[in-house]
Structure 1
């Protein structure tokens, strides 16, 4: 499946909440969604409170449809309590490797 929509998020966790934020992200309801092709969570090597997420979706419409669902809204509300600051940038993953 081809990725036509995506983004990269950088989140700074509330003090002492980065591990909880990462654990929550790794159970995101988008993971089993077939339209979510890439979902990668990373942590800054220099600042353990900074968490990065890269997502790639089949289409912008699929992403919007999913994030307008009640399940996604509840998940977003849950992680927002763990986040002090965030930045989002559009990004379309085009290739690479993920071996975790």
Structure 2
């Protein structure tokens, strides 16, 4: 079973778009990692300083390993000053679905 995360990132007032671009760059960096099946960056205009990220990984260890990737670490450092808070809203076991390799 795959490992999934649904999280919410709160951006500094007026910096959501800039932070979203960094997260989208991270999504491109993850394209070469076969262990990452989905990395979606989502916004909702009702919360103008929030970004939701949905991730699906081969397993939890693959997710943890991605955090030591040099390009990902550089992007984390680049975005850190734009973040006021992070919540891991939920983790889940992925059974399958459209877009997944299962």
TM interval, short-chain normalised = 0.7 to 0.9
1:82 equivalent in structure 2: 82
Q: Which stretches in structure 2 are left out of the alignment for 5+ residues?
A: none
Secondary structure in 1 matching 2:30: coil
1:95–1:76 Cα change, 3 Å: same
1:13 equivalent in structure 2: 11
Structure with the bigger percentage of helix = 2
What is the aligned counterpart of 1:4 among 2, 5, 10? 2
TM-score normalized by the length of structure 1 = 0.81
Q: Which stretches in structure 1 are left out of the alignment for 5+ residues?
A: none
Q: More displaced, 37-46 or 60-69?
A: 60-69
Distance 1:48 1:93 in 2: 29
TM-align CA RMSD: 1.9
TM-score normalized by the length of structure 2 = 0.79
